[in-house]
Amino acid sequence: MRSFSESYQAAGVNIEAGYEGVKLMGRHVARTVIPGVVSDLGGFGGLFAPDLTGMQEPVLVSGTDGVGTKQRIAQLMDRHDTVGIDCVAMCVNDIICCGAKPLFFLDYIAIGKNVPEKAAALVSGVAEGCVQAGCALIGGETAEHPGVMAPEDYDLAGFAVGIVDRPRVIDNRSTKPGDVILGLRSSGLHSNGYSLVRKVFDVEHCDLGRYVGPLGMTLGEALLTPTRIYVKPVLAAMAAAEIHGVSHITGGGFYENVPRCIPDGLCAKIEKAALRTPPIFRLLQEAGSIPERDMYNTFNMGVGMTLTVAAGQADRALEALRANGQDAFVIGEIVSGEEKVVLC
């Protein structure tokens, strides 16, 4: 017998829509099943049995994040199958910074009105992100919020759990002068700075379907391009070379994120000319008359992640990254200095 409450539905919550949404999500979740998944979708908790073979001291690593106001672009374009990739990316790209391999992911969707097809589209993106990251989607929650959110609105968030052997944890203690800094190409704006992006382009009133020649696509497509997931290529680089530090370049740009893997007394000297900045950043800067310093303090400028590699091993890391489909290049080096990061 199916659960049903006429009174609850009259208040704006459709339990049957929730059931239908879970049914539609099932085929997307099935794509993410990996060894270790114990439970099926629909239980009170997601179960996962990690393989600890060969680990001396397993350490769990967790990360949580959302898509932020980028999801407003998805709502305006009525395209909901990509922001889930962003949600996964923002979590798994964080936990890979200490060397952790993602194991599983859970999502949370708060939605004004639960339209099963829309909820399933959101989860399809989450599932795609999990496939790219090599982790399992083992659970989640869709919460209908009538009267709190507009019917067409939603907020997507989630969290990832990964694992790393304590002796292989990456921190900044091994970083030294002469280390090489590699930049891993981003797919565009990723999921950061969108409050500024939306203001500059006036997205509520502009034509997001307008083709923009320098971008090679419409403005909306450029703004909705999913965040790149770096897990597999970075794990390959970690296996091939001595990695001393990893920074995920998110909100706060270079000035906030690079210093997080630089010890006191050392400085990341980055050559701006070495970056391969996509046209969307130049278009944004010109349209909003944004000072260059603010651009580097808000956006990734074409580099979504940096790796600090032991001197003499940069080529090994680059080879591993490129063999796993990730374009990467040398953007600087570690030098002595009190300022954690210098862009020149």
Q: What does the pLDDT look like over 247-267, one tens digit per residue?
A: 999 999 999 999 999 999 999
Superfamily of chain region 180-343: PurM-like C-terminal domain (3.90.650.10)
Q: Which positions of the chain have pLDDT values less than 70?
A: 1-21, 41-42
Geometric angle at alpha carbon 249, from 139 and 32, rounded to 5°: 25
Distance CA 176, CA 82 (A): 39
Query: Which tokens in the block code for residue 103?
Result: 């194991």
Q: What is the CATH number of domain 6-166?
A: 3.30.1330.10
Alpha carbon 37 to chain centroid distance?
23
What residue spans define the domains of the chain?
6-166, 180-343
Whole-prediction pTM value? 0.94
CA 289 to chain centre: 27
Q: What is the pLDDT of residue 250?
A: 96
What does each C-alpha distance from 22 to 6, 7, 127, 132, 269 come to in angstroms? 20, 22, 13, 22, 49
Question: What's the pLDDT score for residue 11?
Answer: 59
